[in-house]
């Protein structure tokens, strides 16, 4: 019953776009109470887009839930989506959005997966603006965390890695992935997204299997994969262990951390390390499989309303 209700899309009370000084047009929308406690939400990815379902985690009468599509993502546009498409500029866009909406008081920052990375980075840059932090499926974007996905996870999925190497014709699957993903040939793009691009989404599944699609690839999905690869290739445009090293800046801020025990995409050690660095944090580990699941969403809805 919860999942059926949660799948119903809420309607924003406002949506629009604002321009940056370097040619990007950022799409945003807000839900709930315009005069409520502002919640600034960061979506996952990189390359994902904002999802209205997360607005339902916060009581619509109490909170003003604000989300936006990051550069090159969703409904945000630009003549050159790669121009200044880095983590630093995503944080600047978030601050500009608050200014556009004339929000000057303290806010709650929220994020899931890559969104948690950005929420924490925003809080560390603007700690004076943040009253609470809510993050789940935590991703700290350290070299240690990146290595897990593109190397160490093979210990659990050797069969998938064998298939990826066979398809790539090389042990250097990520270079082959790059070449296929950015190729002009559609079939090359489909192979990259199927055999390599989908691997991360299979982590945590008990019976994962690659499935090659012969359908025409849509431009938005291809762009999303390219953005994801570009960010990983550049180590997410942040210093190694930057979030933990700057944790003192936000240690006074109450922080709610939620994570699935069997999250093989972002192992729970990341949530644990964050919790150990923040004296006012509360960590809840759900006994569930997968990355961001309906069990975790249900838990988040409960915990957020008592946090």
Same domain, 153 and 257: no
The predicted model gives 32-48 an average pLDDT of 97
Residue 301 to residues 80, 119, 186, Cα–Cα distance (Å): 38, 18, 41
**Range scoring the smallest mean pLDDT among 141-145, 183-187, 288-292:** 288-292
Three-class secondary structure of residue 287 per DSSP: strand
Whether the Cβ atoms of residue 67 and residue 14 lie closer than 8 Å to each other: no
Average pLDDT in the chain: 92
Same domain, 62 and 77: yes
Same domain, 206 and 299: no
Same domain, 184 and 43: no
Within 10 A of 201 (CB to CB), how many other CB atoms are there?
12
Same domain, 192 and 135: no
Same domain, 38 and 167: no
Whether the Cβ atoms of residue 112 and residue 88 lie closer than 8 Å to each other: no
Q: Which of 177, 151, 138, 155 is nearest to 260 (CA)?
A: 138
% of the chain surpassing 90 pLDDT = 74
Q: Which of 189, 205, 235 is the last residue of a domain?
A: 235
What is the pLDDT confidence band of residue 45, given thresholds at 50, 70 and 90? very high
Quick one: pLDDT at residue 7? 61
Same domain, 33 and 115: yes
Is pLDDT of 4 > 60? no
What is the C-alpha to C-alpha distance for residues 31 and 268, in angstroms, rounded to an integer?
30
Same domain, 130 and 250: yes
What is the pLDDT confidence band of residue 197, given thresholds at 50, 70 and 90? confident
**Range scoring the smallest mean pLDDT among 35-39, 126-130, 202-206, 300-304:** 202-206
Is pLDDT of 147 > 60? yes
Quick one: pLDDT at residue 214? 55
Within 8 A by CB and 6+ apart from 264, the residues are: 153, 156, 203, 204, 291
The predicted model gives 8-19 an average pLDDT of 94
The residue count for the chain: 307
257-286: pLDDT as tens digits = 999 999 999 999 999 999 999 999 999 999
Q: Which of 235, 256, 280 is the last residue of a domain?
A: 235
What is the C-alpha to C-alpha distance for residues 182 and 170, in angstroms, rounded to an integer?
18
Quick one: pLDDT at residue 215? 55
Domain that holds residue 68: 2-141+238-304
218-240: pLDDT as tens digits = 888 899 999 999 999 999 999 99
What is the C-alpha to C-alpha distance for residues 9 and 28, in angstroms, rounded to an integer?
16
The predicted model gives 76-98 an average pLDDT of 98
Same domain, 221 and 110: no
162-187: pLDDT as tens digits = 999 998 888 888 899 899 999 999 88
Structural domain count, the chain: 2
Whether the Cβ atoms of residue 29 and residue 41 lie closer than 8 Å to each other: no
Quick one: pLDDT at residue 92? 98
The predicted model gives 43-47 an average pLDDT of 95
Is pLDDT of 20 > 90? yes
Q: Domain containing 298 — which CATH number?
A: 3.40.50.1820
Quick one: pLDDT at residue 295? 86
Same domain, 228 and 255: no
Quick one: pLDDT at residue 3? 47
Within 10 A of 251 (CB to CB), how many other CB atoms are there?
14
The predicted model gives 242-266 an average pLDDT of 96
Same domain, 185 and 76: no
Q: Which of 216, 235, 254 is the last residue of a domain?
A: 235
**Range scoring the smallest mean pLDDT among 10-14, 84-88, 209-213, 227-231:** 209-213
Q: Which of 178, 148, 176 is nearest to 163 (CA)?
A: 176
Quick one: pLDDT at residue 305? 85
Same domain, 185 and 300: no
């Amino acid at each position: 019953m919860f999942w059926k209700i949660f799948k119903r899309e809420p309607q924003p009370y406002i949506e629009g776009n604002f321009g940056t000084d370097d040619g990007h047009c950022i799409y945003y929308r807000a839900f709930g109470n315009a005069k409520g406690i502002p919640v600034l939400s960061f979506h996952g990815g990189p390359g994902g887009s904002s999802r209205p379902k997360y607005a339902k985690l916060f009581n619509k009468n109490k909170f003003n839930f604000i989300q936006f599509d990051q550069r090159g993502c969703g409904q945000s546009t630009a003549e050159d989506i790669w121009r200044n498409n880095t983590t630093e500029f995503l944080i600047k866009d978030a601050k500009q959005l608050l200014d556009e909406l004339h929000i000057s008081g303290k806010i709650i920052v929220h994020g899931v997966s890559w969104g948690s990375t950005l929420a924490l980075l925003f809080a560390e840059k603007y700690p004076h603006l943040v009253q609470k932090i809510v993050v789940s499926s935590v991703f700290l974007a350290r070299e240690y965390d990146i290595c897990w996905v593109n190397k160490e996870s093979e210990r659990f999925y050797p069969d998938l890695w064998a298939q990826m190497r066979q398809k790539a014709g090389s042990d250097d699957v990520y270079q082959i992935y790059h070449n296929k993903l950015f190729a002009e040939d559609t079939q090359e793009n489909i192979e990259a997204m199927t055999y390599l691009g989908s691997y991360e989404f299979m982590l945590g599944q008990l019976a994962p299997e690659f499935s090659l699609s012969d359908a025409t690839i849509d431009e938005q999905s291809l762009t999303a994969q390219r953005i994801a690869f570009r960010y990983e290739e550049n180590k997410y445009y942040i210093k190694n262990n930057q979030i933990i090293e700057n944790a003192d800046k936000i240690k006074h801020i109450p922080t709610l951390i939620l994570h699935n025990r069997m999250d093989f995409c972002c192992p729970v050690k990341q949530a644990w390390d964050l919790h150990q660095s923040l004296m006012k944090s509360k960590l809840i580990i759900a006994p569930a499989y997968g990355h961001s699941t309906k069990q975790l969403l249900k838990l988040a809805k409960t915990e957020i309303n008592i946090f």
